[in-house]
């Protein structure tokens, strides 16, 4: 009887798991990457995912202040190099607060769009471009100025026009309207 009871419980558990799995929302079955303690769902857009990352609260506030939410919720596709809160903390004291003021909206928008490249470009594609470019690749940003990419010690790096670099710390966070690559430094246009 003990064996029969165990078999019955196992069968009931399997049935409840099977029926429970069909009741899950479709995005719960998607392959996700964890960013800032939250799963990033490929079926959600850039903004829908970013607002859940505790590592990107400064970026989300900046995107809102610059009026870029509708753009980053649109069809795209976009490749976003997303600086973390720690990246923003590397800027001189008071910079973020100053940029978030309404009178600095254009400058903030310029900085943020400098982190966006048109299209959906994966890390593999970036590395292929670097290889084809004999160690470097350059892509034009939405802001208009280029970013330069290179590989160092097996890691993908991004350089702004001033020569400052950011490491891609989490690559290929797929979105419904593009891809996010998390970086550890804020890049600045010239």
Between CA 112 and CA 159 the distance in angstroms is 15
User: Which pTM was predicted?
Assistant: 0.84
Q: Write out 108-169 in H/E/C secondary structure.
A: HHHHHHCCEEECCCCHHHHHHHHHHCCCCEEEECCCCCEEEEEEECCEEEEECCCCCEEEEE
What are 35-73's pLDDT values in tens digits?
A: 998 999 999 999 999 999 999 999 999 999 999 999 999
CATH of 31-183, one of 3.30.2350.10, 2.30.180.10, 3.40.250.10, 3.10.150.10: 2.30.180.10
Where do we find the tokens 């208009």?
144
Nearest Cα to Cα of residue 82 among 94, 70, 72 = 72
What are 2-33's pLDDT values in tens digits?
A: 443 443 334 444 333 343 444 444 445 778 89
- The pLDDT value recorded for residue 28 is 53
What are 86-114's pLDDT values in tens digits?
A: 999 999 999 999 999 999 999 999 999 99
């Amino acid at each position: 009887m003990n064996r029969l009871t165990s078999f019955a419980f196992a069968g009931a558990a399997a049935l409840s798991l099977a029926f429970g799995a069909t009741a899950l929302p479709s995005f719960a079955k998607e392959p996700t990457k964890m960013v800032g303690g939250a799963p990033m769902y490929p079926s959600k857009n850039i903004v829908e995912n970013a607002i859940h990352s505790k590592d990107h609260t400064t970026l989300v506030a900046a995107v809102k202040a610059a009026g870029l939410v509708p753009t980053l919720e649109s069809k795209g596709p976009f490749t976003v190099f997303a600086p973390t809160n720690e990246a923003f903390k590397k800027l001189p004291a008071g910079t973020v607060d100053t940029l978030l003021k309404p009178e600095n909206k254009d400058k903030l928008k310029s900085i943020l769009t400098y982190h966006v490249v048109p299209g959906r470009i994966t890390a593999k594609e970036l590395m292929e471009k670097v290889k084809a470019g004999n160690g470097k690749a350059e892509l034009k940003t939405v802001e208009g100025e280029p970013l330069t990419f290179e590989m160092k010690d097996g890691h993908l790096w991004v350089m702004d026009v001033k020569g400052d670099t950011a490491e891609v710390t989490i690559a290929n966070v797929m979105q419904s309207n593009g891809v996010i690559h998390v970086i550890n430094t804020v890049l600045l246009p010239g």
